[in-house]
Amino acid sequence: MKAVVDADECTGCELCTQTCPEIFEMDGDVAVAKSGDVPSELEETCRQAAEECPVECISIED
């Protein structure tokens, strides 16, 4: 699976980077997903970050 952040919608709250720092990082004022597939052991935490995003700008591609 892959995580994708819509930079146009991201408000930079950093919740995803706090929830799953192995996958999400800040690039200036917005969050980005690190490139590559999400390791299986991080999938649940990555999905949690997407679900908790207050502006719902994280999508998960299976």
Q: Which domains does the chain have, with CATH numbers?
A: 2-61 (3.30.70.20)
Average the pLDDT over 14-35 and give the result: 97
Q: What is the average per-residue pLDDT within 2-19? A: 98
**Residue whose tokens read 């991080």:** 42
The model carries a pTM of 0.94
Sign of CA dihedral 61, 1, 16, 31: negative
d(CA 7, CA 58): 9
pLDDT band at 12 (very low <50, low <70, confident <90, very high): very high
- Rounded-to-integer distance, Cα 5 and Cα 10, Å: 7
